[in-house]
Amino acid sequence: MGNNLINIKLNSKITKEYVILKGFLLIKDNENEINRENIKLSLNEKEYNIKFPFKRIKKLGKYGTIFNYYKVKIPIEDLITEKIHNKPFFVYKENEEDVLKRSLRYSTINNKNKYLIDKLKIFKDLNTTIYVRQNAKNRLVITVRNINKTDNKLEQIKINLADFISKFMPKKKIIMYEKNSSRYEESASILYEKLIDLGYKNIYYIINKDNEKLPKIDAKYKKHFIYKYSFKHYLYFFIAKTLIGTESPGHAIELRTANRHSSKRIYSNTFNYVFLQHGVMYMVALDSGGRSFFRKDGSMPKNAKIVVSSKEERRHFLEKGGGYTKNDFYVTGLPKFDRSIRNDNADKIVIMPTWRPWEFNLIRVDVQQAPYYKMLEEIISGIPKEYQDKIVLLPHPLVINSVINTPLGKYLEQDLSYDDILKKTEILITDYSSIAYDAFYRGAKVVFWWKEKDFCMEQYNGSLMLNENNVFGPVCYNKDELNLSIKKLYNSKIDDLYLNNYRKIVEFHDGKNTERVIDCLKKDKLIYK
């Protein structure tokens, strides 16, 4: 079909009821006249009528371009339970087989790497912020998420000022962090303490002031803490020479910050980045659509170094990661495993499926209607009655607050960290969370719940690296299989087959992962005293 649709965005407006997009739609029609009534705006399988208030402007040029002013309204109620990031498309249908689909450009002048953001709309009663933004490929995206502290105007001013001042300062600092610059229990904190013990002075750790572990942390480590949301936090984010974290660089300031200066910094490739991983990444394959960040030809910083647990895990990145070489990896094992222990009297059955990005907003708004919640209910019902008092529910951090006030809230242990709970774990039930590797390393048994695996992989547009031939625990597709597996595994020894499968993916068990990582960092001159 010789038709083409191009968007020239004029502006967006968000009211209590609608996201309103306005602009010009350029229609290139080299063959037949396009019926504007057949053009719709498509968003997450819903279609919206486009209003063209004025007559079509006369064709211009030999390509038959027609300028059409348009206006389209997207109801807030349709967005509030959708994905976090939503890309609208123009769709033109002549019939069911002849369909033209085009994403909306955010800007015609600023083609890419500007990270422009329209005014935020904050719905306090829904704990939701909605805004229209420009992504790295100049596509228009509607973001729907929880309210961030950095949505506040004062925080925006602090970030902008920090960016301005940083332009006159040398880039020397080494910044370390874990999930959303809040935690202190994974590889980053363990590596940080080791570096401080070795006398490194130019290293800083970002942490929340209300972190429950703060009172228990030795004073010598606190001397190099930077408290989240402080001006120093923002300034050091911009002047850091090296970021070392268990998460992507966006977590070093605040996840999904709606500030173009911080976004430009994150994607600037002007700093060294060491990805410690929060867990072994041998689960959802890196060539899956939902893993685009972790590919070097995607959004991963170009000079990233990635800590992996084996040559097999490195092979996964090399073959499916896009653009990596062997020099991009530290085959050392994860530092957090050096302190991974399990109590002799561990007796808990812990349930921790990973989160589902496509359900995130539905979980926030009405968690008990979400398939994720129904899955948790089914898993719990499949656990033998004699072990029901052993159940601990450990949902993903992005889900846990939604579950607290539901009937399943009684299974939560909110005051304990993941490390504390894993110390007490006899059996872990998960779908494809990397926590499976952590639990097994400590000596717990792992059961994989794969009833909805194929559906979930469709949502990720990908596949799992684990399969029934290389898993390190039984695979269950219904609650009867789960019931039998738990009866067989509880208080039993780990099967040699599962142990051998695991050690092909996690090679190191000598407690020296942190030392190996430091040797690699020194060799590449990424740390210095």
Region for residue 425 given its phi and psi (left: phi exceeds 0; alpha: psi -120 to 50; beta: otherwise)? beta
Q: In this predicted structure, what is the pLDDT of residue 269? A: 87
d(CA 485, CA 384): 10
Topology of domain 150-338+512-523, per CATH? Rossmann fold (3.40.50)
DSSP state string for 259-301: -HHHHHHHTS--SEEEE--SS---SB-TTSGGGGGGSTTTTS-
8 A C-beta contact, residue 213 and residue 281: no
Tally of helices (H runs) and strands (E runs) in the chain: 16, 23
Distance CA 308, CA 306 (A): 6
Three-state SS annotation for 113-150: CCCCECCCEEEHHHCEEEEEEECCCCEEEEEEEECCHH
Phi, psi of 428 (to 5 degrees): -110, 130
Residue 430: which of 414, 445, 410 has the closest Cα?
A: 445
DSSP string of 169-183, one letter each residue: S---EEEEE-GGGT-
Within this chain, domains 150-338+512-523 and 341-505 share the same CATH topology: yes
Measured over the CA atoms of residue 201, residue 204, residue 209 and residue 210, the dihedral's sign is negative
- Report pLDDT digits (tens) over 456-488: 999 888 899 999 999 999 999 999 999 999 999
Mean pLDDT of 257-270: 91
**Model confidence at 256: pLDDT above 60:** yes
Nearest to 139, CA basis, from 169, 163, 99, 107: 107
**Hey, what amino acid is at 167?**
K
Query: If residue 5 lies in a helix (H) or strand (E), which one and from where to where?
Result: strand 3-14
Which residue pairs from 314-322 have beta carbons closer than 8 angstroms and sit at least 24 positions apart in sequence? 316/281, 316/282, 316/285, 316/286, 316/465, 317/281, 317/286, 320/285, 320/286, 320/287, 321/286, 321/287, 321/294, 321/295, 321/296, 322/286, 322/287, 322/295, 322/296, 322/297, 322/298
Residue closest to 150 by CA, chosen among 231, 247, 265: 231
> What integer pLDDT is reported at residue 115 of this predicted model?
85
The pLDDT of residue 56 is 62
CATH C-level class of 3-108: mainly beta
Instruction: Give residue limits of the domains in the chain.
Output: 3-108, 150-338+512-523, 341-505
Segment 155-182 mean pLDDT: 95
- Whether the CA torsion 79, 83, 87, 93 is positive or negative: it is negative
Placement of tokens 């070093």 in the chain? 252
Each residue of 42-101: pLDDT tens digit?
998 899 999 988 766 555 555 455 667 889 999 999 999 888 999 999 888 766 665 678
In whole angstroms, what separates CA 114 from the centre of its chain? 22
The percentage of residues in the chain with a pLDDT greater than 70, rounded to a whole number, is: 92
State mean pLDDT over 504-525.
96
pLDDT, tens only, 413-464 = 867 788 899 999 999 999 999 999 999 999 999 999 999 999 999 988 889 9
Average pLDDT over residues 264-281: 92
Residue 161, CA distances (Å) to 24, 112, 169, 379 in order: 35, 24, 13, 50
pLDDT band with cut points at 50, 70 and 90 for residue 2: very low
- At residue 347, what are phi and psi to the nearest 5 degrees? -145, 5
Q: Which CATH superfamily is domain 341-505 in?
A: CDP-glycerol glycerophosphotransferase, C-terminal domain (3.40.50.12580)
Give the pLDDT confidence of 191-234 residue by residue, as tens digits: 999 999 999 999 999 999 998 889 999 999 999 999 999 999 99
Confidence of residue 514 (pLDDT cuts 50, 70, 90): very high
